[in-house]
A and B are shown apart, each in its own frame.
Chain A
Amino acid sequence: MKRTDDVVLQTTSQVTVFIIITFSAFLFLAGHNNPGGGFIGGLMSAAALVLLALSYDLKTVKQALPVNFHYMTATGMLIAIFSGMGSFVFDAPFLSQAYDYFDLPLLGNVELATAMVFDLGVYLAVVGVTMTIILSIGEDR
């Protein structure tokens, strides 16, 4: 991919990538009670990385995030499967969910559910799959 030298695009994407990633984290965490969740959170994170790849090049994305996206997909799938298999320990059927309320130091009384772990797996798998598709299509040979 030819390196683009558009200062306007690069500067704005430096700012907007942070907004997009913040919003994707918000969507990921808000998924239990609001629209959102692992899938669109992952898609928005991947969109931020694609924006970086558009305004710089693929090498910059690989430097900024030195992750093998194949491993990321596999880790996401494993987390999702193990969050389902964790219910075997408590003698419950596969993929049973549990939740409880905890007093966290800064956030106060928070409901933590094991569905969040499953969502984290979905998030990682979606980011990994999307980035694998786009990077493998976009690469020159």
Chain B
Amino acid sequence: METVQTIAEPVIAILILIGAILGALSAFGLIRLPDVYLRAHAATKSATLGVLCVLGGGFLYFVFFERLISAKMLLGIVFVFITAPVAGHLIERAAYMSGVPMWQKSVRDDLKMAIAEERKSRPQTEKSQA
């Protein structure tokens, strides 16, 4: 067990450090990036990976140092991995639907055409909803 702990210690430390750095990077992305969509891109991806790294490091710590396989931590990892990108998707979608403008240097907007086509094909339902 001693050797395993000696091997596991730097791995856990590096995992948690990487998680913290990724969290800090996503915070910088939130400050630096120009519009909502790019900010959500920074906030969801790297913050999720950072949280996953920190949780994984904590899980390994409990496995090797407390001899406890924490199912709650595994469940938390799976849960964050499933839900955080969906939260980002919903926030961006809500921002687009409420008309938040894109960065002026953006070149492509496929969703605009898709929405216009859908409105053309279903004018009745659109009116009744509005």
Contacts and interface: CB of A to CB of B under 8 A. Distances in A.
Given A2-B129, A6-B93, A19 B86 contact: no
B56 to A, nearest CB: 18
Contacts, number: 22
A12 B129 contact: no
Interface of A: 2, 6, 8-9, 12, 15-16, 19, 23, 26
Contacts of A6: 90, 93
A16 B82 CA distance: 8
Size class of the B contact interface (CB-based, 8 Å): 10 to 19
Interface of B: 72, 75, 78-79, 82-83, 86, 89-90, 93, 129
Contacts of B72: 23, 26
A8 B82 contact: no
B82 A23 contact: no
B71 to A, nearest CB: 9
A53 to B, nearest CB: 15
Contacts of B82: 12, 15-16
A26 B79 CA distance: 16
B78 A8 contact: no
